[in-house]
Structure 1
Amino acid sequence: MGRYFEGIEPITFAGSDSNDPMAFRHYDPSQKLGDKTMSDHLRFAVCYWHNFVWEGNDPFGGQTFERPWFPADTMALAKQKADDAFDMFRILGVPYFCFHDHDVRPEGDTLKESHKRLNEMADYFAEKMANGGPKLLWGTANMFSNRRYMSGASTNPDPDVFAYCASTVRACMDVTHRLEGENYVLWGGREGYETLLNTNLGRELQQMGRFLNMVVEYKHKIGYKGAILIEPKPQEPTKHQYDFDVATVYGFLKRFGLENEVQVNVEQGHAILAGHSFEHELATAHALGIFGSIDMNRNDYQSGWDTDQFPNSPSEAALAYYEVLMAGGFTTGGTNFDAKLRRQSLDGSDLIAAHVGGMDICARGLKSAHAMIADRALEGPRDLRYAGWETPAAQAMLAEGATLDGIADDAEARGVNPQPVSGQQEKLENVVNRYV
């Protein structure tokens, strides 16, 4: 049987004058920006779930995609799916991929059988990775799709579900560790509630906090050196998510003593659902010291749900990578395309072209962001705006021992009468547009 992507050649860099939709115009992996290549800056990853699991269904219609490995309910089909997935990784030349346990193996009749199948697929992956395949950016467990999780995973009112989750996460962490995954992600798709009428919110938060502490303890027990990440999500499917946004996650981590153990994987689409911009969430993660990795997928701005589309805005990408670079860039994290095709895009070549476009937009945004930082195009005006705080008198107001009385008395003695100064937002927007 022929491979799904048979006949599609590896994607190469053709330059900005190219009209070839199956070539990179901006992403040149070897091009250096500062002391890193584009490949090292961006650390692209392809996700397994939307590309090889999703069937093209939506709330009003069923499957539109016909893939040769569907329904992937046998190990033979799971391995065929893996063959085609690694073909796609090779064609795109990406350095990483990501997966949930449920993506790569059919569920067994028992928990032990599911784990056995996961380990068998991990062995299959390891062979491909050793033969030039990409590395694993992160692994995670799907604890939201099966009906057993309808009331949550670690927050479930049934302690047996909590125990099932513990076994599932242990197995997934073991596989991620064995495959040298650089991060392990906890995506709480149903960690929240629909109504307070049947919910003990305080109890559920305690369960979630204890579970996360045990995950961190297990990480250290097995000697796993990768980062533990939480992916904030405000809603959908659960009405009230406990991990609403970056700031909420930080408060949760702080409460349970995990702020130095766990970072965030920030998704653009989730930022939008939370009423924020992507760059806001990234800047917040940086400011709070928990920036880890990103999922680069946008939402449709006319829809109120998570449409998981590939990025296509150079200005949005530039502002996002500006914050990534200001945070010091990625260490264990990277740029994962948690994005899917539109359900009318049926061909294998559509999957390749979507990633080519997304990678190019990210590269274009990275180049703009790098140039803005090199020129201090935003940091210069920003430093000037806060220059008053650099004086000894201003610094003294924030120092240990300063009091409200002392500051107030000094202000009255000096007859302080501050006058507003322009924030120059429109001028700075024009600056960004010049670089984009």
Structure 2
Amino acid sequence: MSYFSQIPKIVHEGPDSDNPLAFRWYDPDRLVMGKRMEDHLRFAVCYWHTFCGTGLDPFGGDTFERPWFGAGDSMALARLKAEAAFDLFDILGQPFFSFHDRDIAPEGTTLAESNANVNAIADLFADKMRDRPTRLLWGTANLFSNRRFMAGAATNPDPDVFAYAAAQVKNAMDVTHRLGGANYVLWGGREGYETLINTNMGQELDQMGRFLNLVVEYKHKIGFQGAILIEPKPQEPTKHQYDFDVATVYGFLQRYGLENEVKMNIEVGHAVLAGHSFEHEIETANALGLLGSIDANRNDYQSGWDTDQFPMNHPEMALAYYFILQGGGFTTGGTNFDSKLRRQSLNAEDLVIAHVGGMDTCARALLAAAAMIEEGGLAQALEDRYAKWQLPEARKILGGEYDLADIADYVARANINPHPVSGRQEALEVHINRFM
């Protein structure tokens, strides 16, 4: 019997429904700005929290009981987990999923054995995907859980660890390519330091730059058409991670000649840990041409760590989708639920309801974002605020036709004496609230 056998396929019942096992706002075929809602949002279930999460927290042990947990033949349990995963994808109508290699298959005593395990489950995935619409949003390698990576993978002081990590990534990229993945993600969970007194930062950055170049070179060698994505995070588990935020990663990419090869997978919780808003990180990526994909979740405002809760507040997500749409929307990327149940939410139904709620939240946010774009008030206010930069003299300043002396002459000649103009923040915030 399937773990989810008592739960029906989720369908759209509309905003007036009070059924927690139905979509109120997410209607895959609804046209939004001329495009299907499903194609805008490109939802993905993440394998790690959804099927590997145990309810563990820093002060308490496992609370979840799943049929694929516990003792026994580890590969048989991995196959059982895969069966449950695709049952959930079917129930939710998920177009995508995502995974780390260690999520889907047990680690062996050697890398060859580990890779064989991953490939065996990937074969099962391929069979499951053959007669389903569900596709792989992205794959990645877990280069942070095993104790060998306690001092980093690419940035480890031991070159043998670097080499082992590179070999593990090769297999994960091969699997992602074979399954038709739309992206390959690198999250440097331990690419950072605990203390500077035993860290050669320049050496570690060079190692990280070489590692990423190896990944990009291999992408082209095997003909992988998806995007390579980096997922920024400032801290946790390390004290400081080198991929702190979008702007920091952009500087890193420029230094190692990769700014045209790599884009960003931006997570809500990581943006908050970096002291930013989610929309700030999205718009920074837009401005730099680096927006790839997003991880949808949220942090608890009273906790100082990455709690990975399901997104349930649509006004918070509406501005994010506003800037995503303003940037042209997703191409290879999508909305990945890097979200986990609270440790007291124990049941299969809880897992389904959490995803239904997250999908509805994002759908409602998308509708608000699209309405704001179609109404045009925010865009017009922005255009008006910067309108003087379109005047001839301003264009000469920005275009490099004037040097500093020329600008000073212009100020004197035109008797420039500027006066502040209101930024109208509160008025614009009131305007946004009309769409929520």
Which bin holds the TM-score, normalised by the shorter protein? over 0.9
Q: Residue deviations 1:342-397, cap 9 Å, x none?
A: 00000000000000000000000000000101111210111001111111111111
- TM-superposed CA distance for 1:175, in Å, is 0.2
CA distance in 2, matches of 1:27, 1:392: 47
Unaligned runs of at least 5 residues, structure 2: none
**Partner SS for 1:152:** coil
1:352 corresponds to which residue?
352
Paired residue type of 1:55:
T
**Partner SS for 1:378:** helix
Greater mean alpha carbon deviation, residues 128-137 or residues 281-290: 128-137
Q: Residue deviations 1:273-301, cap 9 Å, x none?
A: 00000000000000000100000011001
CA distance in 2, matches of 1:65, 1:352: 15
- TM-superposed CA distance for 1:34, in Å, is 1.7
**Partner SS for 1:435:** coil
- TM-superposed CA distance for 1:133, in Å, is 5.2
Paired residue type of 1:117:
N
2:330 corresponds to which residue?
330
Contact 1:156 1:162 in 2 (8 A): yes
Contact 1:309 1:341 in 2 (8 A): yes
Paired residue type of 2:69:
F
Paired residue type of 1:336:
N
- TM-superposed CA distance for 1:400, in Å, is 2.9
For the aligned residue pairs, the C-alpha RMSD in angstroms reads 0.8
2:318 corresponds to which residue?
318
CA distance in 1, matches of 2:410, 2:84: 71
CA distance in 2, matches of 1:252, 1:323: 24
Structural mapping, 1:70-109, within 5 Å: 70-71=69-70, 74-109=74-109
CA distance in 2, matches of 1:253, 1:11: 42
CA distance in 2, matches of 1:156, 1:106: 23
CA distance in 2, matches of 1:358, 1:41: 15
**Under a length normalisation based on structure 1, what TM-score does the superposition of the two structures give?**
0.99
Count of residue pairs the alignment pairs up: 435
**Partner SS for 1:118:** helix
1:5 corresponds to which residue?
4
Identity %: 66
1:53 corresponds to which residue?
52
Contact 1:90 1:133 in 2 (8 A): no
CA distance in 2, matches of 1:249, 1:419: 37
Paired residue type of 2:354:
A
Contact 1:151 1:193 in 2 (8 A): yes
Is 1:217 aligned to residue 245 of structure 2?
Answer: no
2:384 corresponds to which residue?
384
Paired residue type of 1:229:
L
- TM-superposed CA distance for 1:401, in Å, is 3.1
- TM-superposed CA distance for 1:84, in Å, is 0.4
- TM-superposed CA distance for 1:101, in Å, is 0.2
- TM-superposed CA distance for 1:419, in Å, is 0.5
- TM-superposed CA distance for 1:413, in Å, is 2.4
**Partner SS for 1:122:** helix
CA distance in 2, matches of 1:136, 1:64: 29
CA distance in 2, matches of 1:199, 1:161: 16
Structural mapping, 1:116-265, within 5 Å: 116-132=116-132, 134-265=134-265
2:416 corresponds to which residue?
416
Q: Residue deviations 1:209-262, cap 9 Å, x none?
A: 000001000000001000000000010011111000000000000100000000
Contact 1:44 1:95 in 2 (8 A): yes
CA distance in 2, matches of 1:69, 1:414: 76
Paired residue type of 1:105:
A
Unaligned runs of at least 5 residues, structure 1: none
**Partner SS for 1:99:** strand
- TM-superposed CA distance for 1:149, in Å, is 0.5
CA distance in 1, matches of 2:252, 2:357: 36
Q: Residue deviations 1:97-132, cap 9 Å, x none?
A: 000000000111111000011111100000000121
CA distance in 2, matches of 1:246, 1:336: 18
Q: Residue deviations 1:312-331, cap 9 Å, x none?
A: 11111110000110110000
Is 1:435 aligned to residue 435 of structure 2?
Answer: yes
**Partner SS for 1:297:** coil
**Under a length normalisation based on structure 2, what TM-score does the superposition of the two structures give?**
0.99
Q: Residue deviations 1:157-215, cap 9 Å, x none?
A: 01110010011000000000000000000011000001001000000000000000010
Q: Residue deviations 1:410-436, cap 9 Å, x none?
A: 102222111101100001001111001
Paired residue type of 1:48:
Y
Contact 1:45 1:337 in 2 (8 A): yes
Contact 1:86 1:133 in 2 (8 A): no
